[in-house]
Amino acid sequence: MYPFREIEKKWQKYWKEHQTFKTDVWDFSKPKYYVLDMFPYPSGVGLHAGHVEGYTATDIVSRMKRMQGYNVLHPMGYDSFGLPAEQYAVQTGNHPNGFTEKNIAYFSEQLNTLGFDYDWDKMVSTSDPTYYHWTQWIFKRLYEDGYAKYIDMPVNWCEKLGTVLSNDEVIDGKSERGGYPVVRKNMKQLCIDQPAFAEKLLEGLDEIDWPESTKEMQRNWIGKSIGAHVTFQIKGYDKEFTVFTTRCDTLFGATYCVLAPEHEYVNLITSEEHKEEVKKYQAICASKSDLERTELNKEKTGVFTGAYAINPVNQQEIPIYISDYVLASYGTGAIMAVPAHDERDYEFAKKFNIPIIQVLEEVTGTPHENEFEKQSIVAVVYNPKTKKYLTLNWHDKGGRLFIGGTRKEKEDALSCALREIKEETGYVHLTLEAELPKINHHYYAYNKDKYFHIESTGFLFYLKDEIQDEKELEDDEEFTIEWVDEKTLEEIKDPLHNKTYQYAKHPGAMVGDGVHINSEFLNGMNKQEAIDTMIKWLEEHHCGSRKVNYKFREWIFARQRYWGEPVPIVHLEDGEDYVLEDEELPLILPELEDYKGHNGKAPLENATEWKKYTTKDGRKGFRETSTMPGSAGSSWYYFRYIDPKNETMFCDPELAKHWLPVDLYMGGPEHAVGHLMYARIWNRYLYDKGLSPVKEPFKKLVHQGMILGENGIKMGKRYPEYAIDPKDIARDYGADTLRLYEMFMGPIEASKPWSASGVEGAKRFIERVWRFFTNVDHIVDDNDGHLTKIYHQTVKKVTDDYENLGFNTAISQMMIFVNECYRIGHCPREYAEGFIKMISCIIPHVGEEMWQILGHNETIAYQKWPQYDEKYLVEEEKEIAVQVNGKVRATIKVHLEDTERQIEEKALQEENVKRHIEGKQIVKIILIKGRICNIVVK
Partner RNA sequence: GCUUGUGUGGCGGAAUUGGUAGACGCGCACGACUCAAAAUCGUGUGGCCUUUGGUCAUGAGGGUUCGAUUCCCUCCACAAGCACCA
**Angstrom distances, CA of residue 661 to CA of 138, 547, 635, 640, 654:** 19, 34, 14, 13, 13
- Residue 367: what residue type? P
The three-state secondary structure class of 616 is coil
As a whole number of angstroms, the distance between CA 527 and CA 513 comes to: 6
The three-state secondary structure class of 288 is coil
Among 43, 167, 518, 533, binds RNA (CB under 7 A): 167
Cβ closest to RNA, residue 6 vs residue 295: 295
**480 forms part of the interface with RNA (CB under 7 A):** no
**675 forms part of the interface with RNA (CB under 7 A):** no
Cβ closest to RNA, residue 853 vs residue 881: 881
As a whole number of angstroms, the distance between CA 222 and CA 598 comes to: 36
CA dihedral 807→812→813→818, nearest 10 degrees, is 130
**793 forms part of the interface with RNA (CB under 7 A):** no
Which neighbouring-strand residues pair with 37? 666
Q: How far is the CB of 10 from RNA (least distance, A)?
A: 23
As a whole number of angstroms, the distance between CA 267 and CA 567 comes to: 38
CB contact at 8 A, 200 and 684: yes
Among 310, 891, 908, 917, binds RNA (CB under 7 A): 891
**428 forms part of the interface with RNA (CB under 7 A):** no
Q: How far is the CB of 403 from RNA (least distance, A)?
A: 27
Which neighbouring-strand residues pair with 69? none
Size of the site for RNA (CB under 7 A): 88
**216 forms part of the interface with RNA (CB under 7 A):** yes
Cβ closest to RNA, residue 162 vs residue 331: 331
Length of the chain: 938
As a whole number of angstroms, the distance between CA 407 and CA 416 comes to: 6
The strands making up 577-579's β-sheet, listed across from edge to edge, are: 577-579, 569-572, 620-623, 612-614
**153 forms part of the interface with RNA (CB under 7 A):** no
Among 202, 428, 816, 854, binds RNA (CB under 7 A): 816
Cβ closest to RNA, residue 186 vs residue 386: 186
Q: With CB under 7 A as the contact rule, which of the stretches 470-478, 518-526, 633-641, 763-771 interacts with RNA?
A: 763-771
Q: What are the DSSP calls for 647-687, one per residue?
A: SSSSS-HHHHHHHPSBSEEE--GGGTTTHHHHHHHHHHHHH
Cβ closest to RNA, residue 458 vs residue 669: 669
Helices and strands (H, E) in the chain, number of each type: 28, 38
As a whole number of angstroms, the distance between CA 51 and CA 834 comes to: 29
Cβ closest to RNA, residue 244 vs residue 650: 244
> How many C-beta atoms lie closer than 10 Å to residue 675's C-beta?
19
Interface residues for RNA in 257-276 (CB under 7 A)?
Answer: 260
Q: With CB under 7 A as the contact rule, which of the stretches 240-248, 380-388, 475-483, 838-846 interacts with RNA?
A: 240-248
**91 forms part of the interface with RNA (CB under 7 A):** no
As a whole number of angstroms, the distance between CA 663 and CA 208 comes to: 11
Indicate the DSSP class of residue 447. T
**174 forms part of the interface with RNA (CB under 7 A):** no
Relative to beta strand 360-364, strand 515-516 is antiparallel
**771 forms part of the interface with RNA (CB under 7 A):** yes
Cβ closest to RNA, residue 299 vs residue 476: 299
**693 forms part of the interface with RNA (CB under 7 A):** no
Cβ closest to RNA, residue 292 vs residue 371: 292
Interface residues for RNA in 548-577 (CB under 7 A)?
Answer: 549, 551
Interface residues for RNA in 918-937 (CB under 7 A)?
Answer: 926, 928, 931-932, 934, 936
**47 forms part of the interface with RNA (CB under 7 A):** no
**750 forms part of the interface with RNA (CB under 7 A):** yes
Interface residues for RNA in 820-879 (CB under 7 A)?
Answer: 822-823, 879
Q: How far is the CB of 1 from RNA (least distance, A)?
A: 7
**127 forms part of the interface with RNA (CB under 7 A):** no
Counting other chains too, the contacts that 777-783 makes at CB distance below 8 Å and 24 or more residues apart are: 777/826, 778/821, 778/825, 778/826, 778/827, 778/832, 779/826, 779/827, 779/828, 779/829, 779/832, 779/854, 780/826, 780/827, 780/828, 780/829, 781/828, 781/829, 782/828, 783/828, 783/830, 783/831
CB contact at 8 A, 590 and 604: yes
Cβ closest to RNA, residue 227 vs residue 633: 227
Q: How far is the CB of 527 from RNA (least distance, A)?
A: 13
Q: How far is the CB of 756 from RNA (least distance, A)?
A: 8
- Determine if residue 542 is left, alpha or beta; phi over 0 gives left, psi from -120 to 50 gives alpha, anything else beta: left
**154 forms part of the interface with RNA (CB under 7 A):** no
**885 forms part of the interface with RNA (CB under 7 A):** yes
**296 forms part of the interface with RNA (CB under 7 A):** yes
Report which secondary-structure segment, H or E, holds 62: helix 49-67
**294 forms part of the interface with RNA (CB under 7 A):** yes
Interface residues for RNA in 376-395 (CB under 7 A)?
Answer: none
Q: With CB under 7 A as the contact rule, which of the stretches 129-137, 329-337, 354-362, 510-518 interacts with RNA?
A: 329-337
Among 179, 512, 855, 886, binds RNA (CB under 7 A): 886
Contacts of 202 (CB under 8 A, 6+ apart): 219, 222, 224
Among 370, 757, 857, 899, binds RNA (CB under 7 A): 757
Q: How far is the CB of 356 from RNA (least distance, A)?
A: 15
Among 335, 504, 517, 766, binds RNA (CB under 7 A): 335
Cβ closest to RNA, residue 412 vs residue 486: 486
Which neighbouring-strand residues pair with 393? 400, 480
Cβ closest to RNA, residue 719 vs residue 822: 822
Report which secondary-structure segment, H or E, holds 256: strand 256-259
Among 95, 122, 140, 247, binds RNA (CB under 7 A): 247
Q: How far is the CB of 226 from RNA (least distance, A)?
A: 9
As a whole number of angstroms, the distance between CA 779 and CA 851 comes to: 12
Q: With CB under 7 A as the contact rule, which of the stretches 143-151, 267-275, 326-334, 389-397 interacts with RNA?
A: 326-334
Sketch the per residue contact string, 337 through 356, with RNA: x for CB under 7 A, - otherwise.
Answer: -----x-x------------
CB contact at 8 A, 663 and 701: no
**776 forms part of the interface with RNA (CB under 7 A):** no
Q: How far is the CB of 916 from RNA (least distance, A)?
A: 6
Q: How far is the CB of 52 from RNA (least distance, A)?
A: 16
Report which secondary-structure segment, H or E, holds 94: none
Q: How far is the CB of 301 from RNA (least distance, A)?
A: 7
Cβ closest to RNA, residue 588 vs residue 750: 750
Q: How far is the CB of 263 from RNA (least distance, A)?
A: 10
Cβ closest to RNA, residue 542 vs residue 928: 928
Q: Per DSSP, which regions of 709-865 are E strands?
A: 752-753, 779-780, 827-828
**768 forms part of the interface with RNA (CB under 7 A):** yes
**746 forms part of the interface with RNA (CB under 7 A):** yes
As a whole number of angstroms, the distance between CA 908 and CA 910 comes to: 6
> How many C-beta atoms lie closer than 10 Å to residue 573's C-beta?
9
Interface residues for RNA in 5-34 (CB under 7 A)?
Answer: none
Q: With CB under 7 A as the contact rule, which of the stretches 264-272, 330-338, 428-436, 586-594 interacts with RNA?
A: 330-338
Among 86, 193, 324, 742, binds RNA (CB under 7 A): 324
Interface residues for RNA in 180-199 (CB under 7 A)?
Answer: none
